[in-house]
């Protein structure tokens, strides 16, 4: 089989053998791909394979069923961001979610662009206010791309598009203030920025994380929730402490 050469974002790395590693990378046209990196745990190559880094990847395999051999060249390092706790937690979670939730070999060009955008936002404005909304939108896009999208177009109770303020945890559909009367405590708050665009206040950002977290845990991370959700819990905990 011919080699596949592609830009990619490093999402996960795990040791394999004495010196090697298996890397999982998100590519723009081929989705999530895994490959074996000879010497992947070496002092030279390991810094290239940090989650969040943009690389040029070359995959080579004799058959489609064989784990490809992988070589990588650094295109853009985001290693300096890992020295700051909040930035590191955001990168860790976004990449872990991607590596865990997506099936291999299925193209998700919108997710590739969105993940690159989230990482770019963290880099441009390490303060969490600058990237938290982008991360929430990435989680929403992940849900939609995997078939678990939220309906934010109209109220599930009244049918109208006005004053949408909640999400039903059962149907994943929006509910207006009028349609929610008497049931508010059973619904999840819908942050205005998810309807109107723009940014949000901290209380709204935390509501957004609660919203996407609920549906990710219920629908996407059901089988491997303990490991990957720990990364999200660390992020949310650090955000709450930063706000306080």
User: pLDDT of 157-210, one tens digit each?
Assistant: 999 999 999 999 999 999 999 999 999 999 999 999 999 988 889 999 999 999
Question: What pLDDT is attached to residue 213?
Answer: 96
Please report the beta strands in the chain, taking only residues with DSSP state E, as ranges in sequence order. 4-16, 20-27, 31-37, 54-60, 68-76, 164-167, 174-176, 188-189
Q: How far apart are CA 226 and CA 230, in angstroms?
A: 6
Place of tokens 């598009």: 161
Q: How far apart are CA 93 and CA 221, in angstroms?
A: 13
Query: Above 80 in pLDDT, residue 110?
Result: yes
Torsion over CA: 95, 98, 104, 107 (sign): negative
Query: Above 90 in pLDDT, residue 129?
Result: no
Cβ proximity of 220 and 143 under 8 Å: yes
Mean pLDDT of 228-244: 89
Q: How far apart are CA 115 and CA 31, in angstroms?
A: 12
Question: What pLDDT is attached to residue 16?
Answer: 85
Question: What pLDDT is attached to residue 184?
Answer: 94
Which residues, other chains included, contact 140 with Cβ-Cβ below 8 Å and sequence gap of 6+?
Answer: 149, 150, 194, 212
Q: How far apart are CA 240 and CA 36, in angstroms?
A: 38
CA 133 to chain centre: 12
Q: What is the pLDDT of residues 1-12, one digit of tens each?
A: 578 999 999 999
User: Between 132-145 and 202-215, two packed helices, what is the crossing angle to 10 degrees?
Assistant: 20
Q: What is the pTM of this model?
A: 0.94
Question: What pLDDT is attached to residue 64?
Answer: 73
Question: What pLDDT is attached to residue 90?
Answer: 95
Q: What is the pLDDT of residues 77-89, one digit of tens each?
A: 999 999 999 999 9
Q: What is the DSSP string of 65-110?
A: TSPEEEEEEEEE--GGGGGSHHHHHHHHHHHHHHHHHSPBT---HH
Task: Return the SS3 of 179.
Answer: coil
Question: What pLDDT is attached to residue 39?
Answer: 83
Place of tokens 């020295």: 83
Mean pLDDT of 96-102: 96
pLDDT band at 112 (very low <50, low <70, confident <90, very high): very high
């Amino acid at each position: 089989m011919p080699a596949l050469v592609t830009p990619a974002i490093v999402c996960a790395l795990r040791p394999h053998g004495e010196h090697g590693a298996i890397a999982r990378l998100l590519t723009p046209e081929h989705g999530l791909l895994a490959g074996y990196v000879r010497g992947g745990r070496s002092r030279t190559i390991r810094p290239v394979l940090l989650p969040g880094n943009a690389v040029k990847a070359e995959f080579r395999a004799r058959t489609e069923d064989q784990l490809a051999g992988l070589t990588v060249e650094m295109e853009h390092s985001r290693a300096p961001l890992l020295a700051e706790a909040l930035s590191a937690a955001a990168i860790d979670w976004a990449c872990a979610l991607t590596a865990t939730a997506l099936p291999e070999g299925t193209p998700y060009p919108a997710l590739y662009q969105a993940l690159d955008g989230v990482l770019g936002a963290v880099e441009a404005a390490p303060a969490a206010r600058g990237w938290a909304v982008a991360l929430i939108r990435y989680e929403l896009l992940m849900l939609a791309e995997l078939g678990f999208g939220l309906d934010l177009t109209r109220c599930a109770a009244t049918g109208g598009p006005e004053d949408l303020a909640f999400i039903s945890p059962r149907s994943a559909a929006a509910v207006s203030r009028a349609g929610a009367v008497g049931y508010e405590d059973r619904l999840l708050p819908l942050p205005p920025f998810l309807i109107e665009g723009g940014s949000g206040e901290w209380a709204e950002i935390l509501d957004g994380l609660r919203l996407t977290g609920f549906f990710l845990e219920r629908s996407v991370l059901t089988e491997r929730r303990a490991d990957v959700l720990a990364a999200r819990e660390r992020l949310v905990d650090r955000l709450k402490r930063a706000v306080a």
